[in-house]
Chains A and B, each alone.
Chain A
Amino acid sequence: MSLYQVQKLIYQLNRDPRTRQRYADERDTVLADYDLTHEEIGALQRPDIGLLYVLGVNGQLLMHFAALHRIEWTDYLERMREGLRQHGPVREGVYAVTGYEGVEAHEARLRAERETR
């Protein structure tokens, strides 16, 4: 139930300018509107993108929460990796990591394939 509450808050922040304003002006009051654990409150407050990812927050919500905090895309991806290193595997949901060579290595491989076509 608690992950649901974290995601609901992020959903409201992403879509509702008034919630965003309230969050900027009186964050603790907004957080108190949701049934959150101390770990979740801390992750939202810092914000700890890596921990939120490990807690199971859907990426389609989390990437916009990161953008709201002016966290650039590459940094966003790195923070999730750091979350995995610090907190272990994703605990819930369908956004678990599955293993990937990384964009740069992948692009280099595709370039090499194109050149040999």
Chain B
Amino acid sequence: MPLVYCGACSHAPGMTGRAERADTQTRQALEGAFRRMGDDIRATRPDALVVIAAEHFANFFMNNMPAFAIGMADSYEGPIEDEAFLRIRRTTVPGNKALSRRLIEKVMQTVDVAYAEEWKFDHGISVPLHFLTPDYDLPIVPANINCQGPPLAPLARAWAFGEALRNAADSVPERIALIGTGGLSHWPATPDSGKINQEWDREFLRRWSANDREALLSYTDAETYREAGQGGFEIRTFIAAAAAAKGARGTIDFCEPVPIFAVSCTLASFKLPGI
């Protein structure tokens, strides 16, 4: 069944953990945008949601760091973070091990992906799910791109991973929705937390909306680090989602810089043909 939904969103832990410290109007607009995205996903009647995240040392460390990984379990626990810090109650989220396995086998045709039968969600997945599927009633297939511990996979490989996920989703009878989660420019968890390069974000989203492969892959990590901070390495998740959209054009549904959340909070989606 062809992919039924493809989008991307922010996963900043401040969106839940420091929610009340943002301007009320902006916060309400952001939560409204998340509700709309959740409704749009549900409207496509998905059997599972693939979440391509940039995890933050919940599962993988520099002793054995996969460039790409996909979860293969019937359930996942999360968030791993202190509940008082993230303000999301720890819970069990359904997965689908058999479906994961079929997707992984297909992805492996072109990308050497690691698989994990144990996976703890961190804010990279738990924050989006808190807003998008608050009842945790949709099976999740977690996928990860290493955006934390250099050396990082080149952007072209993140694109290849997105393409492979799309081909895998299209090959199974289930209805698969997919989102990438991550930040654009940001300097999280440093004294610069809150710094945002709006101009850089706008240009990235212009390239993303146009689904311009060449322009998206032309960033170097040195340039991203200089202009968009170490958090900018997470564009890999947005790029993988763009590849999964297979040429479809994107729409930016919400994008507002919120310094206390440390990013331009962004929700965006692709118009998939026939959906």
Q: Which residues of A contact B (CB under 8 A)?
A: 4, 7-8, 11, 14-15, 53, 58-64, 67-68, 73, 77, 80-81, 84, 94-103, 106-107, 110-111
Contact = CB atoms under 8 A, between A and B. Distances in A.
B195 A59 contact: no
A96 B61 CA distance: 20
Interface residues of B, number: 36
Interface string B38-78: 00000000000000000011110111000000000000000
Given A60-B56, A73-B18, A94-B150, A7 B62 contact: yes
B57 A61 contact: yes
Nearest to B54: A60
A26 to B, nearest CB: 21
Given A15-B58, A102-B194, A60 B188 contact: yes
A11 B149 CA distance: 13
Contact of A94 (B85, B195, B230): B230
A77 B193 contact: yes
Q: Helix, strand, loop or mixed for chain B's interface?
A: loop
Nearest to B83: A67
A29 B17 CA distance: 33
Contacts of A80: 190-191
A95 B193 CA distance: 11
22 contacts: A11-B61, A58-B148, A58-B149, A59-B188, A60-B57, A63-B189, A67-B82, A68-B82, A77-B193, A80-B190, A84-B191, A94-B225, A95-B230, A97-B191, A98-B192, A98-B229, A100-B191, A101-B195, A102-B194, A103-B193, A103-B259, A110-B257
B17 A95 contact: no
Contacts of A96: 190
Contacts of B18: 73
Which of B58, B59, B150 has most chain A Cβ within 10 Å? B58
A20 to B, nearest CB: 10
B268 to A, nearest CB: 20
Contact of B195 (A7, A67, A95, A106): A106
Contacts of B193: 77, 103
A14 B120 CA distance: 11
A34 B57 CA distance: 18
A64 B82 contact: yes
Nearest to A94: B230
Contacts of A81: 191
Given A14-B81, A60-B57, A100-B187, 20 more contacts: A7-B62, A8-B62, A8-B63, A11-B57, A14-B80, A15-B120, A59-B188, A59-B189, A60-B56, A61-B57, A62-B189, A63-B189, A67-B84, A73-B17, A81-B191, A94-B225, A97-B191, A98-B195, A101-B195, A110-B259
